[in-house]
Amino acid sequence: MSELSFHGIAPARIQALLAQERATYAQRNPRSQALAAAASQHLMFGVPLHWMSDWGTPFALHVDHAQGARLHDVDGHSLVDFCLGDTGAMFGHSPPVVAQALSQRASRGLTAMLPGEDAAAVGALLAQRFGLPTWQFAMTATDANRFVLRWCRAATGRKVLLVFNGCYHGTVDDVFVDLVNGQPQQRDSLLGQVQDLTTTTRVVEFNDLAGLQAALAPGDVACVLAEPVMTNIGMVLPEPGFWEAAQALIRRHGSLLVMDETHTISSGPGGYARAHGLQPDAVVVGKPLGGGMPCAAYGFSATLAAQAEAAKRQAPPGHSGIGTTLTANLLAMAAMRATLTHLMTPEVYAPMLKRAATLAEGLKQVISRHGLPWCVTHVGARAEFQFCATAPRNGSEAGAAMDAELEHALHLALLNRGVLITPFHNMMLVCPDTTDADVACLLQAMDEVLSLLKAPAA
């Protein structure tokens, strides 16, 4: 048998499983393969956006329709979906209340650069859910983060942004700075960037209060932009007391705290910060806010809102660099109102949280049964398994535990067995339509795939 890797799986078994599952996938999905070939004639990388080719499939899976917790591909397969559009469909695919709101709005105007009656209702609902009084909108959480960063710099008169190593804030250029051997380094994968981001972006490890203190000490940090729980390099939970101490440090140095709840909105209707009693100066929420409709929002404390408004009034006339023509369009506002009213409620979250806990416990049992040195973390309706025995405490540890080939093999094998999980690392999400049978299906498929990976090499 081949020598085991750090994660307890022989490399030869990973390669064997990949070869087997790629052949199975190609045989099962002729229609997707034909559509992928047609798309390659006019679409870069053969997909509408290049990262759609990052799935561990030989060619892109093509969707026919999706409803609730099920995705149906063009070859007639029904998949139990734990990816859910990487949170965009956290409340299930095409929730009826959102579909109805969109249908009613669509015949009455889609966009006008002016507010409709939904605007005030959405603002009030956001204030109620998240505990921040003043709101603005964007098309994506990326845009919302970018806009908040501009507002914070304008409000404070400071230029520097502070982020945590391995963070995820969409495609905001400023955040693509990593710690490499303890030194900040612009990420090599960032295409076409001509500015040196390290001059205005500082990066420290998550859960490192001493590092945070040192980075804030010069007194020039406009804001700390953070996920309450790191979610895009494998989940990293805050250690007990970390955020309470971090908040105090940030305020002591006159900086602002912005919490990006794009993924941690799985924690509850007010996100992780509200669920855990944290008090950020600003909150960003995107992806599921419109039930799958592209939209996002960001909220400010009363103090920050006043500072931001003053900065705008005092600025010279002209474009602020904040906002786009389609931002807060009438269709998006209708979707947000329906989502906030009917889906982002404690009653909807309760079964999601319960089933996610069941899923996390079931994953622990399956992994233990196969004797693998892996751990499982979970936050609200989201669960993840990682290829390390102890949950990582920062981005460097989480990154070191990743293995792209093993991930691809696992994800592809699960897909071929009717289960879809997020293509990037090993994250799963439970929606209101997820059933106990769906959870059991995932655990059974996982058990089968791990048996194949642990089998002696031929």
Strand duo 78-81 + 70-73: pairing? antiparallel
Answer yes or no: are the C-beta atoms of 13 and 2 closer than 8 Å.
yes
pLDDT number for residue 424: 87
Indicate if the pLDDT at residue 51 is higher than 90.
no
pLDDT tens digits for range 266-298: 999 999 999 999 999 999 999 999 999 999 999
Q: How confident is the model at residue 454 (pLDDT cuts 50, 70, 90)?
A: confident
Neighbouring CB atoms inside 10 A of 361's CB total: 14
Average pLDDT of span 30-54: 94
Asked if residue 127 has pLDDT above 70, the reply is: yes
Instruction: Output 35-39 pairs: Cβ under 8 A, ≥24 positions apart.
Output: 35/60, 35/62, 35/74, 36/60, 36/62
Segment 417-443 shows an average pLDDT of 97
Helix (H, G, I), strand (E, B) or coil at 356: helix
The arrangement of strands across the sheet holding 134-138 comes to 134-138, 296-300, 282-285, 256-260, 221-226, 160-164, 201-204
Q: Residue 457's pLDDT is what?
A: 58
Pair type for strands 160-164 and 221-226: parallel
Among 15-24, 49-58, 98-107, 382-391, the least confident range: 49-58
pLDDT digits (tens, 9 = 90+) for 219-240: 999 999 999 999 999 999 999 9
Model confidence at 194, pLDDT cuts 50, 70, 90, reads confident
| Integer CA distances (angstroms), 350 to 70, 82, 357, 444, in order | 20, 17, 11, 24
pLDDT (0 to 100) of residue 458: 53
| Other residues' Cβ atoms within 10 Å of the Cβ of residue 360 | 19
Q: Measuring CA to CA, which residue among 278, 279, 277, 297 is closest to residue 287?
A: 297
pLDDT of residue 60: 96
For residue 169, the number of C-alpha atoms closer than 13 Å in the C-beta half-sphere is 29
Residue 455: pLDDT band by 50, 70, 90 thresholds?
Answer: confident
Averaged pLDDT for residues 72-98: 97
**Confidence check: pLDDT of 1 > 70:** no
> Is residue 2 scored above 60 in pLDDT?
no
Share of the chain above pLDDT 90, in %: 91
Confidence of residue 318 (pLDDT cuts 50, 70, 90): confident
Percent with pLDDT over 70 in the chain:
99
- Taking the C-alpha atoms of residue 301 and residue 317, their distance in angstroms, rounded to an integer, is 25
Question: What SS3 class is residue 78?
Answer: strand
pLDDT of residue 162: 98
CA gap 120, 18 in Å, rounded: 52
pLDDT above 80 (res 358): yes
Q: Is the pLDDT of residue 432 over 80?
A: yes
Can you give the pTM of this predicted structure?
A: 0.95
Q: How confident is the model at residue 259 (pLDDT cuts 50, 70, 90)?
A: very high
